[in-house]
Structure 1
């Protein structure tokens, strides 16, 4: 039992030894003595490694102490340097303040002059960036940056040439305002193509080329994608003119961005206005087309019928190709009957003719009444959408709100445009129809009166 206990302890000790023990003896232990010898060698090896690590730790500790001493020395040197620099900064600050006082004393009234020049240069720079004169004379404002920096600097001053150039550019902008000149420039078409064209500049208001209005954004000249059609003839005449006076549409807000020209070219055309009516507008248009076509057709038909009735009045023989001839045919077929029977026969014949004569009147009347209602429906729907947009995006821009209301009112205009001509056509058709029926009534009354006198 004692031997088994010893074996168990040795096995547990062998299992707790690190893998390094197997590096000492790679061969496998055959006996307990060999295993004990291997464990002993492993312990000796680990003890040597531990001593080596302790020596390394001691060396590292000594190095860290040296580094700490060096860091402390560096810190002391930098602290001394910082004190010296702070002292020098204070001395320099006092010197700069004194120099500034000396500079202000020497500048005197020039300081106020530089303030005005700086303000003028800033205003001129903003003007030149948007002026269409820069399309003809580019890069006019590049020197202004340097001039402004010098006039606001404490270490440099502008020279007399730069100040005189500022005055020159202000004067040149004023002079170019009243000139109409031609020059060649690169123009960008709406398709993206570029071409060298002759450009006419009207002061600082408008640019035109080849009868088209142009726009200048400070960098490039572009042809407007939409043109004010009513003014294009004047633009072409201006470009073709030499010294004569021509009529030309000038936008007086050109130096401020050309708001009037923009508003003019952004005005929707009739087709665009029609599309603004939306689905309700399309329905109104369809109803209007039906009403107009029906009215024209009925007017033509009644004109033909009226002509045949007039011809029948001049003829002694009943012709069945017109309402009056068919009524007279009935009278001829019943000329030997009593008056009451003849009256009934003729009334029946007239009643048969009325539907064909008065055909389409009810439809025209309905269209004339429904078209304004459809327009009102579209307007109310558009107003609802406009107010919904205002609820979501707010009413910060009155132009958007006005544009939505304008679009909403388009259907009202469409309804009235349809209703007015349809009402007129209904009146014409109704008048023609009544005239024909009136002739039939007159003729039947005369026939009955003759029959009544003959039978007495």
Structure 2
């Protein structure tokens, strides 16, 4: 490689030397034309030698150039072949990578499918176990002990399912029919008697014994008791194979829970369930009723006296008998008589002054006419609030019970809420009629006031007409 790089350098240097020598040679030739032929000959020889060296060097360089070109072409050809080989290898490796990637994806998909299959099998197994447990509980309730046997435990799963369906089918047929058995049940007084029991499917039963007969209800623990309803004749007819058109049945869901008869709640018991606040509400209601009766009595007397006074006094005033009119008014008790008496005593006054005296008398009587009215309306406003207070306190007590004992018994929760709402019920029951009647009585009192004013003014007008 060094020789290859040295040859061009030598060529360049030689070219530069020749370029520098030629002007000198030319100058020397021009200036030495007079020199001797020997000198010229020597110069010519040196020029030829130099030219020969130049040609040799040029030929050498040309040969070097051709060699380098050939070597370059061979290198490029070899590099191209190697590049093609490497590219083919790269393509092969890429194809292998794609193939391995696809294969890995397929394996991952197979793994996911296998996991889904395992999960599905586990779910199915859980469903089967739950089915077996439910079937065991249900069949045991109806006297079928299939799952507890060793033979059933050793069966394959498919055979277990077939056995379960077979047992369930037989139990369904048995429970869906009317069957007669000998057994015991309890009477209303708690006495246990032996007799004939007719089962109507699994939802009702009749019992007939020497002492009593009738429809049966669950007594808890799989036992039956006589229901107090009068169904003895129907039960005996069913036992004898005679079915009436209408059957009185007690339908039940299970024999494991005792069914109690709902005793009819009295009014006092209903009030007592609301606690002390309920009794306060009822006390206010009784007070409101008493005040309403008294107010009706006062207003009825005032209303009747107004009509009677206007008729009696009007005729006497028209005849000019003022003193007799005053005596007639004094014999009548009530607010209207006092207002009219005031008008009769001051008939000689001017009209404006007389009307002022009448208005003053009506204002004095207004307090008597409005007696108990404000108290009645106050009771009507307070009793709903007391009912709400009782409901809130009852709900707090109910939630305290739930906090301590939980919500396992829905009957306890519903009973607590029902009891808490009793006070609201009583409060509204007292408030609504009290408010309505109170407003009606207030309107009646206003009408009586108007009638008293009309009566007094009527007497005044009659007097002026008679005098004028």
- TM-score, normalising length: structure 1: 0.52
The aligned counterpart of 2:373 is 361
> Residues 425, 194 of structure 1: CA spacing in aligned structure 2 closer, same or farther, 3 A cutoff?
farther
SS of corresponding position for 1:254: coil
> Residues 406, 217 of structure 1: CA spacing in aligned structure 2 closer, same or farther, 3 A cutoff?
closer
Instruction: Compute the displacement of 1:216 (Å).
Output: 3.8
Please list the CA deviations of residues 307-352 of structure 1 after superposition, one character each: whole Å capped at 9, or x if unmatched: 4444444445545144334433443344334434533443344334
Instruction: Compute the displacement of 1:207 (Å).
Output: 4.4
Q: How does 1:47-86 map to 2 (within 5 A)?
A: none
Report the Cα distance in structure 1 between the residues aligned to 2:400 and 2:386, rounded to whole angstroms.
21
Instruction: Compute the displacement of 1:281 (Å).
Output: 1.6
Does 396-405 or 407-416 show the bigger shift?
A: 396-405
Instruction: Compute the displacement of 1:433 (Å).
Output: 1.7
Instruction: Compute the displacement of 1:361 (Å).
Output: 0.6
Q: How does 1:243-282 map to 2 (within 5 A)?
A: 243-246=243-246, 248=248, 251=251, 254-255=253-254, 265=262, 272-282=269-279
1:302 to 293, 299, 303: 299
2:420 to 400, 403, 408: 408
Report the Cα distance in structure 2 between the residues aligned to 1:292 and 1:249, rounded to whole angstroms.
46
> Residues 222, 120 of structure 1: CA spacing in aligned structure 2 closer, same or farther, 3 A cutoff?
same
The aligned counterpart of 1:84 is none
The aligned counterpart of 1:283 is 280
8 Å contact from structure 2 (residues 380, 431) kept in 1 = yes
Instruction: Compute the displacement of 1:396 (Å).
Output: 6.1
8 Å contact from structure 1 (residues 338, 455) kept in 2 = no
Instruction: Compute the displacement of 1:121 (Å).
Output: 8.9
8 Å contact from structure 1 (residues 386, 405) kept in 2 = yes
8 Å contact from structure 2 (residues 277, 386) kept in 1 = yes
Report the Cα distance in structure 1 between the residues aligned to 2:440 and 2:247, rounded to whole angstroms.
45
Instruction: Compute the displacement of 1:364 (Å).
Output: 0.7
Instruction: Compute the displacement of 1:375 (Å).
Output: 1.6
Instruction: Compute the displacement of 1:371 (Å).
Output: 0.7
Report the Cα distance in structure 2 between the residues aligned to 1:296 and 1:198, rounded to whole angstroms.
63
The aligned counterpart of 1:440 is 452
Q: Which runs of 5+ in 2 are unaligned?
A: 1-128, 155-162, 208-212, 314-327
> Residues 151, 311 of structure 1: CA spacing in aligned structure 2 closer, same or farther, 3 A cutoff?
farther
SS of corresponding position for 2:142: helix
The aligned counterpart of 1:65 is none
> Residues 221, 453 of structure 1: CA spacing in aligned structure 2 closer, same or farther, 3 A cutoff?
same
> Residues 324, 284 of structure 1: CA spacing in aligned structure 2 closer, same or farther, 3 A cutoff?
same
The aligned counterpart of 2:432 is 420
Report the Cα distance in structure 2 between the residues aligned to 1:301 and 1:286, rounded to whole angstroms.
23
- TM-score, normalising length: structure 2: 0.51
The aligned counterpart of 2:223 is 220
1:339 lines up with 2:351 in the alignment? yes
Instruction: Compute the displacement of 1:395 (Å).
Output: 5.4
Report the Cα distance in structure 2 between the residues aligned to 1:362 and 1:384, rounded to whole angstroms.
33
Give the greater-gyration-radius structure (CA). 2
2:441 to 404, 429, 437: 429
> Residues 386, 149 of structure 1: CA spacing in aligned structure 2 closer, same or farther, 3 A cutoff?
closer
1:386 lines up with 2:398 in the alignment? yes
Report the Cα distance in structure 1 between the residues aligned to 2:357 and 2:217, rounded to whole angstroms.
79
The aligned counterpart of 1:91 is none
Q: Which runs of 5+ in 1 are unaligned?
A: 1-114, 130-140, 155-163
Aligned length: 305
Please list the CA deviations of residues 153-186 of structure 1 after superposition, one character each: whole Å capped at 9, or x if unmatched: 88xxxxxxxxx9x989964763553549898854
> Residues 369, 211 of structure 1: CA spacing in aligned structure 2 closer, same or farther, 3 A cutoff?
farther
SS of corresponding position for 1:222: strand
Please list the CA deviations of residues 136-160 of structure 1 after superposition, one character each: whole Å capped at 9, or x if unmatched: xxxxx6xx58x95463588xxxxxx
8 Å contact from structure 1 (residues 291, 367) kept in 2 = yes
> Residues 389, 344 of structure 1: CA spacing in aligned structure 2 closer, same or farther, 3 A cutoff?
same
SS of corresponding position for 1:215: strand
> Residues 179, 446 of structure 1: CA spacing in aligned structure 2 closer, same or farther, 3 A cutoff?
farther
1:128 to 142, 146, 153: 142
Does 409-418 or 345-354 show the bigger shift?
A: 345-354
8 Å contact from structure 1 (residues 358, 430) kept in 2 = yes
8 Å contact from structure 1 (residues 299, 428) kept in 2 = no
Q: Give the alignment's Cα RMSD to 1 decimal.
A: 4.7
